[in-house]
Copies of this chain bind each other. A is one copy, B any other.
Amino acid sequence: MIEQLFGGIEGGGTKFVCVVGTSPDDIRAETRFPTTDPQATIQKALDFFRYQMEERGTLVAVGVASFGPVDLKPRSPTYGHITTTPKPGWANVDILGQISRGLGVKTAFELDVNAAAFAEWRWGAGQGLGSLVYLTVGTGIGGGAVVGGRVVHGLVHPEMGHLLIPHDRTADPFPGSCPYHGDCLEGLATGLALEQRWGRRAEELPPDHPAWELEAGYLATGLVNLILALSPERIILGGGVMGQSQLFPMIRERVQQLLAGYVGSPALLGQIDNYIVPPLLGDRAGVLGAIAMAAEA
Interface residues of A in 139-187 (CB under 8 A from B): 145, 147-148, 150, 152-167, 180-181
A40 at the interface (CB under 8 A from B): no
Given A163-B225, A225-B164: A152 and B69 within 8 A (CB)?
A: no
A155, B262: Cβ atoms closer than 8 Å: no
Interface contact A260-B180, CB-CB below 8 Å: yes
Q: Which residue of B has the minimal Cβ distance to A181?
A: B260
Q: Which of A11-19, A240-248, A263-271, A282-290 has 4 or more CB atoms under 8 Å from chain B?
A: A263-271
A73 to B186, CA, bound (A): 34
- Residue in B69, B130, B224 whose beta carbon sits within 8 Å of that of A164 in the complex: B224
Cβ of B221 and Cβ of A158 under 8 Å apart? no
Interface residue A138 (Cβ < 8 Å from any Cβ of B)? no
Q: Is A297 an interface residue (CB 8 A)?
A: no
Provide the bound-state CA to CA distance between A281 and B9, in Å. Answer: 45
Q: Is A229 an interface residue (CB 8 A)?
A: yes
Closest residue to A150 on the B side, CB-wise? B148
Of the candidates B153, B162, B262, the one whose C-beta lies within 8 Å of that of A159 is B262
CA–CA, A142 to B100, complex, Å?
44
Contact of A180 with B229 at beta-carbon distance under 8 Å, contacts A131-B154, A166-B164 already known:
no
Q: Give Cα distance in the complex from A230 to B133, angstroms.
A: 11
With an 8 A cutoff between CB atoms, is A232 at the interface? yes
A233 lies within 8 A of B181 (CB): no
**Separation in Å of the A172 CB from the closest CB of chain B?**
13
Contact check, A230 vs B230: say whether CB atoms are below 8 A apart. yes
Chain B residues lying within 8 Å of A165, measured Cβ to Cβ, are: 164-166
Q: Which residue of B lies closest to A169 (CB)?
A: B168
**Assuming A165-B166, A180-B260, A263-B155, is B160 touching A229 (CB within 8 A)?**
yes
Q: Pick the most buried of A69, A164, A165, A259: most chain B CB atoms within 10 A of its CB.
A: A164
Q: A161-B228, A164-B228, A230-B230 are in contact. List 6 more A-B contacts (CB 8 A).
A: A131-B154, A131-B155, A154-B232, A159-B263, A163-B225, A180-B259
Listed A/B pairs (5) with beta-carbon separation below 8 Å: A154-B230, A156-B265, A163-B228, A164-B258, A229-B229
